[in-house]
Amino acid sequence: MADLTPLLAFRWSPRAFDPAATLTADEAASLLEAARWAPSADNGQPWRFALGHRDDETWKRILVNLPEDDQPWARHAAALLLGAHLAAGTVAGGGAARDAGTGAAYDLGQAVAHLTVQATALGLYVRQIAGFDHAGLAADLDLPAGVRPLVVAAVGRLGDPSSLPAALREQEVGLRRRRPLADLLLR
């Protein structure tokens, strides 16, 4: 494997979160600041976030819109973060957001990646969830028109894998695998 910074080499997306751990205000600010400094086309920053801390109203609204299979482990995360992007034509700062299907979603992905690396630097873990009720969550959080939910990130400290159901526990403690680099190159 090529030499990677430990922030990338040791990044991991667990499902076992410590149900007693909290996300401090400073940690939350640090994560969001990392996202804020992600690159974006024309500095449009077309991403928006909704952050819920365990058991607050935002956290509850996000949790109930996650798939039923994800709720049992996600409820242990210290925070749930909705990542959304602006739809095409929605004003973002000084200009219009790029196409929602490509550019704005791409920029949001960069912001979430920066947030995830910052979480690793802070000793936190992030697991992203894309298969949730997008329309339900937009309605439950009363998101403004033109704000499109794309990803939920569960954030917290590492928990005990033995607290997970057997199938998830096996995935949690198994070896991490990645496709060989050659499989990812088109040419």
Query: 3-47, pLDDT tens digit by residue?
Result: 889 888 888 889 899 999 999 999 999 999 999 999 998 888 999
- Measure Cα distances from 159 to 26, 32, 118 in Å: 21, 23, 19
| C-alpha span between 63 and 74 (Å, rounded) | 7
Closest by CA to 26, choosing from 153, 123, 114, is: 123
- What integer best gives the mean pLDDT of the chain? 90
C-alpha 72/C-alpha 103 separation (Å) is 33
Reply yes or no on whether the pLDDT at 88 is more than 60.
yes
Give the model's pLDDT for residue 29: 98
More confident residue, 148 or 94: 148
- At 94 the pLDDT is 44
Q: Using 50, 70 and 90 to split pLDDT, how confident is the model at 1? A: low
CA 47 to CA 110: how far, in whole Å?
A: 10
User: Which of 40-54, 97-111, 171-185 has the largest mean confidence?
Assistant: 40-54
Average pLDDT over residues 104-110: 95
Question: Quick one: pLDDT band at residue 101, thresholds 50, 70, 90?
Answer: low
Of 145 and 99, the structure prediction assigns the larger pLDDT to 145
What is the arithmetic mean of pLDDT over 111-124?
A: 97
The pLDDT value given to residue 92? 52
The percentage of residues in the chain with a pLDDT greater than 70, rounded to a whole number, is 93
Residue 142 half-sphere exposure, CB side, CA atoms within 13 Å? Answer: 2
The type of residue at 143 is L
pTM confidence score: 0.89
Q: Give SS3 for 96.
A: strand
- Do the beta carbons of residue 26 and residue 164 sit within 8 Å? no
Instruction: Band the pLDDT of 117: cuts 50, 70, 90.
Output: very high
17 three-state secondary structure: strand
Tell me the residue type at 121.
A
Residue type for position 104: A
Which has more confidence, 42 or 176? 42
- Provide mean pLDDT across the span 61-85: 97
Distance CA 117, CA 50 (A): 19
